[in-house]
Amino acid sequence: MELAATFHWPLIAKILLSDRNRSDLDWSNNQFTWRYRNRVNLERRIKIGSYHPAPYASAELFYESRYQKWSTTALYAGTLLPVSKHVQFDAYYEHQNNTGKSPNQQLNQFGLILNLYF
């Protein structure tokens, strides 16, 4: 089960600050664990002719109950690419550092998300 709340604050120069707080509750293998995630995001819509992509940068911290510590940090850079009023792509790069297990794991990933709005 996932619980989430996101807050948005407009800043100077048309920059939008977002703060997402999310908790993941997991009952697998007859054991309950939870994870809290806090993601802070800065984005700004730009204009290229009639097109309006939104580059962004964000940082996310993870607290995991199974390790009883802040175990993961993720840094993102990407762009929201609108296709229509109800369709948008999110192309991004992510660097993740996971200190939950030994040895630490570092991941570098590229991703593409399809967002549909109804």
To the question of pTM greater than 0.75 for the whole model, the response is yes
User: Which residues, at least 6 apart from 8, have a Cβ–Cβ distance to it below 8 Å?
Assistant: 16, 17, 18
Residue pair 55/43 in contact by the 8 Å Cβ criterion:
yes
What are the domain boundaries of the chain?
2-116
Q: Assign 3-state DSSP to the chain and report helix, strand, coil percentages, each to 5.
A: 5, 75, 25
Q: What is the pLDDT of residues 65-74, one digit of tens each?
A: 989 999 999 9
Give φ, ψ of 16 to 5 degrees.
Answer: -105, 125
pLDDT classification of 101: cutoffs 50, 70, 90: confident
SS3 14: helix
Q: What average pLDDT does the segment 23-49 reach?
A: 94
User: Is the pLDDT reported for residue 37 higher than 90?
Assistant: yes
